[in-house]
Each structure stands twice: as structure tokens, then as C-alpha cells.
Amino acid sequence: MTETNAVRVSWTRPSLPPGVSLVQFKVQYEEEGEERAVGEANTMETTVDFHGLKLHQKYIFRVIAVVTDTDGSEYQFSATEDGLELYIPGT
């Protein structure tokens, strides 16, 4: 990826116990200091590209797995509670 205001987020698909199925991944990001997500992507893939990010801004990314169990109940979990910080430098 050659854009200066874009980022590719990749992760490893988690191992799930028998009877638990992956519904989707939610990838959320927020600007540092914000209390809410400013962007989100839903996917079954393990890579997402985000474009149009602000230069000179720190972002926090979270990958959330949405799963269902055998009775159809839906759950969400993330491997990192605090998320991954990434700074988008200027040109």
C-alpha cells in the first residue's frame, strides 16, 4: 500500500472450540482521545484496508470476533482490550 493516509490491518483467525462458529470480524478504529469508534469494517477476511486517515494523528484499532454457539447465542471477543495504536505521520 503506497498511500500515506492509509493502513492495512491484518490478524490471525482464532481457533474456536467445537460448536462455536465465526459470524464476522468487526474492525473498529478511533482517534486518540476519542471515546467512540470513528470507523468500522465488517468482514470474514483477516485483512482490512482503511483509507482517508488524517495525517499527524494517532489511531487505535481493535479487531473483534463475533461468534455464535450451538444454541445461536451471539458473543464478541477481542484478543487485545486496549487495541493497537498506530501513528499516521505527515509528508
Ordered by start, the domain boundaries in the chain are 7-11+19-88
Closest alpha carbon to 65 in 29, 18, 19, 11: 11
Write down the CATH number for the domain with range 7-11+19-88.
2.60.40
pLDDT of residue 21 exceeding 90: yes
Confidence band, pLDDT 50/70/90 cuts, at residue 26: very high
pTM: 0.80
Residues 6+ apart with CB under 8 A from 69: 19, 20, 75
Mean pLDDT of the chain: 86
- Average pLDDT in the 31-37 region? 80
pLDDT in tens, 45-57: 999 999 999 888 8
